[in-house]
Amino acid sequence: MYTKLLQAIYRDSDLAEKTASMIEQKVSVYQQKKGQAGKLHWDEEDIFLITYGDQFFEEQQPTLRTFKKFYQKYLADTFRVVHFLPFFPYTSDDGFSVVNYQAINDRLGTWEDIEEMRSETRLMFDFVCNHMSAESTWFQEYLNLNDTYKDFFIDLPLDTDTSSVTRPRTSPLLTTFIDKNGKEKHVWTTFSEDQVDLNFKNPEVLLKMIDILLFYLEKGASFIRLDAVGFLWKELGTSCIHLPETHKIIQLFRAIADEAAPGTVLITETNVPHKDNISYFGNGENEAQMVYQFSLPPLTLQAIRSGNTSKLKEWLKTIDFASKKTTFFNFLASHDGIGLNPVRGILPEKTILELVKQLKKEGARVNYKKNPDGTTSPYEINATYLDALSSPTDTTEWRSKRFLAAHSFLVTLPGVPAIYIQSVLGSRNDYKGVEKTGENRKINRQKFLLADIEKELQTDPLRTAVYGELTQMLSIRKKEKAFHPNSLIYLLDSADSFISFIREAKEEKVLVIHNFSNQSAGYLLPKGDYLDLFSGQIIHCSQERKLIFQPYEYMWLKIIK
């Protein structure tokens, strides 16, 4: 089953057959353990929560147990899937520099705590497959010249020409380490000096990572997020991103998951332009079932900040939502910043730079990437999505209106919606976190003492408004079959301040209308009868009727006649 893919990766028939046999043995052992199979399809009730396992804490209590308490009280009725960001021992990047792929960070708890959460909801694990911590046993044994780990990492002469390599950071690609004999090793580090890239040209690395994938399935992961997977395969003289071998490895992961735990969903995290991003669907059946909709956060931000939806509508017209076997993982905020690469080619560079300039002026932070010519460009805007949408002088009411309009748009699009915990909580920028660590991304990674956040959800007007109205919105969404991830969408003509469309599943239709401007505006409602899903009121239109929408107002109108 796996031989053909392995031949395409390694171009060695004997090696492919030998490796395929070893993979088959691993899958067979897994199947004997009776790992959990996933749900075979997604539907309108599937809403994802993105969170850290130590998001909430109490004294002398594993944070996963504290999270479970908060989840049961505030989140269980709304979210059907919890994406725990890496919960393994780590040395940097808030979990994405993994020391041990198969252990739980002591502060968070144990695998039993993960099992307890799995009894509450379906889980999504991070498979940080491109790189690992420089403090990991694998890399330390590599520096100790242990033959087992000899080719687990990529060591190149310092004068190697790497100018064609795509860089998501401004840090050096090669980081110098000293082995046990005092010799320098210049190791490939795509993201930081503490995150050393694995060498998938060594089939032993591939086999080790397959062990980890199967381990996560055994531990109950229904969804596997392939972190930074676009960078997996390196070939000097190329961009070292989206290479054919990378796609073949993902196809191999998919084939293994399909055989070992049917229904498991692979999600690729590739923060790149849309055309490259959707290539990870493969032929619709052989790679990821879901890809992140990375263009959505910056495009929605730009539309609301400008009050002009024209670029957003142009982009929406280009999205192919036709497949029933794949779908988009839609989000507006995550633990990272608001990526800008995905909208290069959609928004003019001038528009991107103007947006960055304005947000920096208002308190956002910005991370940069290195270009092939040695220059730098903005890579991501660091801010909570709430503050990115708002101006410093905005009232609480204005902030919540903009924020909820953006999320109404998010959750009514084809695809599965995923909402970051800071968005659910109505969080503002955490400047103390940035100052304490010097890391821009800390601005939207604040952790909370359980008693404090529970109190704020009751007493802070912004948190109360956002949490209450967002969870109500999601509860309504879950009841409407028209919002199935794969149901049809028909984008309607409207003024630049509006974006409106119809979602349709079988005989159910919902008309969704958003005013993304800070001005009242009229919208011509076609003849028909409608049920307002928020107010419960029936709207009768014996003929075309003009409705006045207040700034950032939205309506979900179920067509009943």
DSSP code per residue over 357-378:
HHHHHTT-EEEEEE-TTS-EEE
Element (H, E) at 75: none
Instruction: Round to whole Å and give the CA distance between 212 and 206.
Output: 10
What three-state secondary structure class fits 265?
strand
Instruction: Round to whole Å and give the CA distance between 250 and 227.
Output: 12
262 vs 36, 224, 278, CA distance in Å?
A: 9, 13, 23
Angle between helices 296-306 and 349-361 (to 10 degrees): 70
Phi, psi of 468 (to 5 degrees): -65, -50
Domains of the chain, start order:
488-559 (2.60.40.1180)
Q: Closest by alpha carbon to 224, among 128, 133, 131, 130?
A: 128
Instruction: Round to whole Å and give the CA distance between 277 and 292.
Output: 8
Determine which of 54-58, 270-274, 336-340 has the lowest per-residue pLDDT on average.
Answer: 270-274
What three-state secondary structure class fits 215?
helix
Instruction: Round to whole Å and give the CA distance between 106 and 89.
Output: 8
* Active-site residue list: 227
- Feature table: binding site: 93, 131, 225-227, 335-336, 441
Angle between helices 450-459 and 461-477 (to 10 degrees): 90
pTM (2 decimals)? Answer: 0.96
Please state the rounded mean pLDDT for residues 90-96: 95
Please state the rounded mean pLDDT for residues 110-132: 97
Residue 457: partners with Cβ closer than 8 Å, 6 or more residues away: 74, 425, 463, 464, 467
Tell me the two tokens of residue 413.
């699009």
pLDDT at 39: 60
Mean pLDDT, the chain, integer: 96
Instruction: Report whether 226 contacts 153 (CB < 8 A).
Output: no
Instruction: Report whether 338 contacts 381 (CB < 8 A).
Output: yes
**pLDDT cut 70: percent of the chain above it:** 99
Tell me the two tokens of residue 376.
């730098």
Q: How confident is residue 421, by pLDDT bands cut at 50, 70 and 90?
A: very high
pLDDT at 177: 98
Q: Is residue 92 pLDDT above 70, yes or no?
A: yes
Please state the rounded mean pLDDT for residues 22-40: 80
Instruction: Report whether 70 contacts 56 (CB < 8 A).
Output: yes
Distance from the first to the final alpha carbon of the chain: 52
Residue labelled with tokens 């505006």: 521
Instruction: Round to whole Å and give the CA distance between 322 and 278.
Output: 13
Question: Is 282 or 272 the better-scoring residue by pLDDT?
Answer: 282
**pLDDT cut 90: percent of the chain above it:** 93
Instruction: Report whether 226 contacts 269 (CB < 8 A).
Output: yes
Q: Closest by alpha carbon to 126, among 47, 6, 262, 225?
A: 225
Tell me the two tokens of residue 373.
């010519």
Tell me the two tokens of residue 128.
């940080």
Instruction: Report whether 381 contacts 333 (CB < 8 A).
Output: no
- 218-254 pLDDT, tens digit per residue, is 999 999 999 999 999 999 999 999 999 999 999 999 9
- Feature table: binding site for substrate: 93, 131, 225-227, 335-336, 441
DSSP per position, 495-533? -TTEEEEEEEETTEEEEEEEE-SSS-EEEEEPSEEEEET
Instruction: Report whether 138 contacts 146 (CB < 8 A).
Output: no
Instruction: Report whether 191 contacts 174 (CB < 8 A).
Output: no
Tell me the two tokens of residue 370.
């290195």
| Burial of 175: CB neighbours in 10 Å, binned 0-12, 13-18, 19+ | middle
- 347-391 pLDDT, tens digit per residue, is 999 999 999 999 999 999 999 988 888 889 999 999 999 999 999
Q: How confident is residue 275, by pLDDT bands cut at 50, 70 and 90?
A: confident
Q: How confident is residue 34, by pLDDT bands cut at 50, 70 and 90?
A: low
Q: Is residue 37 pLDDT above 60, yes or no?
A: no
DSSP single-letter state for residue 90: B
Residue 147: partners with Cβ closer than 8 Å, 6 or more residues away: none
Residue 140: partners with Cβ closer than 8 Å, 6 or more residues away: none
